[in-house]
Amino acid sequence: MQKKGVMAKSFIGSFRYIKKSPFIFFMLYLMQCIFIAACVAVIWHFGSLFENSVSVIEDEWVNLSANSVNGIDLFSGFDFADELVNAQVFIWKMFLSLYLCYFLINSVIWNLTNMMVTKFIHFFRHIILFFGVLTLVFAIPSFFIINVALEFFRNAIDEPITLLITSIFISIIASYFMYTSFALIPFYKVNEFFSMLKKTFLLCFTKWRAFASYIIAVIVSIIPLIIIYYTFEFVNIYILFILIFFIWPIFANWSRLFIVAAVHELMQK
C-alpha cells in the first residue's frame, strides 16, 4: 500500500484533529472573533482621533490662509507642530495597540492550535517563545526592512500597482517564515532558541512542501473573503462585516491547523 504524502496526511489529519478536539477548535473560533473585534475597535478608536486631529489642522490652515498677510498669522496662535505630533502619536498608539492585540490573542491561538497536534505543550513557555519570535525576529527587523524597502521602491518605481504587488510579495514571504516559526515553537527550547530558529529557517528554505502548505492555507483563507465580498457586494456594509466576522474565522483556523500539521509532519521526516 502506497504511503500518503505529507500534504495528504496533513489535510486528512487536520480534520481528524478537529474531530478529536472540537472544543479546542470552537475556542479557536471564539478567539479569532475576539481578535477581529479587538482590531476593529482599536482602528476605529484611534482612526477617529487621528481624523479629528487632521480635521482641526485643516480648519486652522484654512483660517490661517484667510487671515494672514505675508505669511504672518493674524488670526490665532495655533501650534501646528504640536497638533501634527498629536496626530503621529495616535498612529503610533494604534500600531502598538494592534501589536499587543496580535501578541496577546494570537499567542493563545497558536498555542491551542499546536496543542491540537502535539497534545501537550508548556503553555507559558510557548507564549514567551511566541513573543520572542514575533518581536525579536520579525516585528523589529521587519519595521526597519519594510521602511527601507518601501522608500527604495517609492523612489525607483513609478507605478502604484507595481509597488502594491511588491509589498504583497514581501508580506507573503515574511508571513511564511513567521507562521512556520510559530508552528515549530513546541520544538523550541529556551536555551536553544537561536539554534532552533536556524533549523526553522533551514526548513523553510529546503522543504518545498512547507511553502506549498502555506500557499494552500493562504488560498483557503482568502477565497471565502473574495466570495463573500462579490456575492454580497451590494448588501449593507454591516451585513457584509457580520458575514466575514462569523464565517471567515472557520477557514482561518483550519488553515492555521493545516500549516501546523504539515510542518510537524516534515519535522518527523
Specify burial of residue 105 (Cβ count, 10 A radius: 0-12, 13-18, 19+).
middle
Cα–Cα distances (Å) from 198 to 194, 203, 260, in that order, read 6, 9, 18
| CB-based contact 135:102 (threshold 8 Å) | no
Q: Does the predicted TM-score (pTM) go above 0.85?
A: no
List the grid coordinates of 37: 473585534
Q: What is the C-alpha separation between 137 and 257, in angstroms, rounded?
A: 22
Domain residue ranges in the chain: 22-267
Please list the pLDDT of the chain residue by residue as tens digits (269 residues).
Answer: 345 677 788 888 899 999 999 999 999 999 999 999 999 999 998 888 888 877 776 666 666 665 554 454 444 555 556 667 777 788 888 888 988 898 889 988 998 999 899 876 677 777 777 877 877 777 777 667 666 666 665 565 556 666 667 677 777 888 888 899 888 888 887 777 778 888 888 888 888 888 999 999 999 998 888 887 777 766 677 777 777 888 899 999 999 999 999 998 888 76
